[in-house]
Amino acid sequence: MRVLDLFSGIGGFSLGLERAGMETVAFCEFDKHARKVLEKHWPNVPIHEDVRTLDGKQYRGAVDVVCGGFPCQDISIAGKNAGINGDKSGLWSEYKRIINEARPRFAIIENVSAFLGRGLSCVLSDLAEIGYDATYTTFDSQFFGVPQRRRRVYIVAVRDGIPADADLFQTEQRTIEKCGEQMDHHIEGRKRDTSPREGKRKGFAFFTRQRSDQFDELGVSGTLAKRDYKSFTDLVIGPDNILRRVTPKERMLLQGFPSDWLDDLNLSNQQLFSFNGMTVPAVQHIGGLLYDF
């Protein structure tokens, strides 16, 4: 299946869907630094710079999937609370327009967990208005092979309708018991050996900020945020037993990207910390669900 990737960021949606077997035919990303990352990894794929000027009709019949996580700044609890009609999150109206113009078989929409009460009903109504059935769920990244607590809402819209008895997200197969093996793997891998001995010690531990000056050891990383470059959430202890901050390369791994995803791009420290989109393995799982469906 062919993909039009909107609000592309550094390519998390496309990387996940391509790992599931799809092909990206075009991006749309406003941030020039994120476009540098896309150009590095997809040098032959065109990049539109603004959803407001993107004509979706040019992709009618050329794409099977339109995907993207539209801006969350007006929806997030940590944001401006302006809602889905705010200056940035209001770009959903352009997303809706492009879906309606391109008429893909599927649309995949992602946003923060606060979206459940701050715009979900509007989006579902808009999708129905343009002829798309939709179903939604919340996935937490820690249950998809990466040690990060990151709850995100995913909507899958289907042009040709969803049968009443369909379980598109296969929720019955993703019980806590069946996800438990992944969590056990995370916890076991981060147990630190503190016994006196020579050589490097194994394990990796996250300490997540509880108050301004207090950190508690947890089994997984807190949710990555753009502000972490100046006001970080987590401290970690690795095999060297030194307490420190999470590095940009580790942030990539916590999102399911290769650690060198941002290498050789001359990005500033702030830019390296600012990329925190969707988690690649969760998107790959959704791509597989679409093929099953």
Which positions are catalytic? Answer: 72
Strand order across the 151-158 sheet: 47-48, 23-28, 2-6, 65-68, 106-112, 151-158, 133-140
DSSP state, 110?
E
How many other CB atoms are found less than 10 A from the CB of residue 292? 9
What is the token pair recorded at 111?
Answer: 């946003």
* Residue 252 near residue 259 (C-beta atoms within 8 A): yes
88 — alpha (psi -120 to 50), left (phi > 0) or beta? alpha
Which string of b and e fits 29-40 if b means at least 16 CB within 10 Å? bbbebbbbbbee
* Residue 142 near residue 186 (C-beta atoms within 8 A): yes
Q: How far apart are CA 4 and CA 236, in angstroms?
A: 37
Tallying the residues shown for the chain, one arrives at 293
Residue type, 128: A
Residue 146 has φ and ψ, to the nearest 5°, of -125, 140
140-143 long-range CB contacts below 8 Å, 24 or more apart?
A: 141/255, 141/256, 141/279, 141/281, 141/282, 142/182, 142/183, 142/186, 142/220, 143/174, 143/179, 143/182, 143/183
